[in-house]
Amino acid sequence: MDAEAVVETLDQLLKTIVELEVAQVRGALKAPRSRWRFTNLGLGSLHATLAPLKVEESSSEAILDVAALRLVKGFAVAETEDVIPEGWTPTAVRRGRTLANGLKHHLPDGVTLTLVRNGEPVPDVPTARVTSEVAVHLKNALDVRQESIGSVVGMIGSINIHRRSVAGLWPERGGSRLEVTFNAEDLDAVRAALGQRVLVAGRLKRNGAGQIVRLDMRTLELLPTDHESLRELYGLDRELTDGLSSLEYLRTVSDKP
C-alpha cells in the first residue's frame, strides 16, 4: 500500500476518534485533544494498534474508552445503515466518510477495525470493515430528507465561523452535539449565549431515519439555568415586583395585612 495513503488513512482515523472524544465533553473551556500512540505497527501493511498516550485534563480514560468503542461500533453500523451512529456528530460522520472514501483506490477490500483490551478482542463488540460502501452510507446519513419547524433546548458549547456560521448545541435531553447554522448578523447574539442554556427555534433538517442533521436557526432565546433558584427569577417585568426577585416579592406580599 502507498505510504502516503497509509498516513492519510491513519490521520483521518485519529481525527475521527478525537471528534468522538470532543463530542462527549460538555462545557469545557478548551476542547480536549488527547494524544495517541502506536503499540504495534506492521511493516508493509496497514496493520497497527493504537492506544492513548496523553489524556487531556478535560477528558479522561473513560471518555477515551467510549470514543474507541463508538468508533468501532459506529463503523460497524455504517456498513449497512444510512444513519448517524450513536455518539457521532456530523463532523465525525464527515471524518469517517473521508476515511472510507479514500480507501477505494488503495484498499478496495477495506480495512478492519477491532476493539482490543489487553491484546484480546473485546467480547460483544462487533468487528467493523471499513470500505467505500461505508462512505456511501455515511453520506446518506447526512442527506436531508425531511424538514419541519421546531426548537431544541440546550447549551451552546462552540462557535465556528471559518467557512460558515455554525454553533454546537448540546441538547438538554441528551444525545450528540447538534449543528446550528445561523446568519452573520446573529453572531453577536450567539457569542453572548456561549455556555448558556438556550432555546433555539428554526427549521429542523432530518435524514431518512428521522435523525436531526442540523438546525437552521431563526430565533435564539436565553433561558434560566438549572441552578437558578426562585430567588434569581424576576418574571417578564421587574417593575411589577418593584425590582424585587420573585422570592423577595412573595415575602413582602405575605407580610402585608
In the 3-class helix/strand/coil scheme, how is 82-138 assigned residue by residue?
A: CCCCCCCCHHHHHHHHHHHHCCCCCCCCCEEECCEECCEECCCCCCEEECHHHHHHH
d(C-alpha 87, C-alpha 234), whole Å: 37
Query: Closest by alpha carbon to 92, among 175, 190, 185, 20?
Result: 20
Give the pLDDT score at 247: 46
d(C-alpha 33, C-alpha 77), whole Å: 25
pTM as predicted: 0.80
Give the pLDDT score at 1: 62
Highest CATH level, class, for 146-222: mainly beta
Element holding 199 (H helix, E strand)? strand 197-206
Neighbours of 14 (CB within 10 A): 15
Domain ranges of the chain: 3-141, 146-222
Please list the ranges in the chain whose pLDDT falls under 70: 1, 26-31, 43-45, 226-257
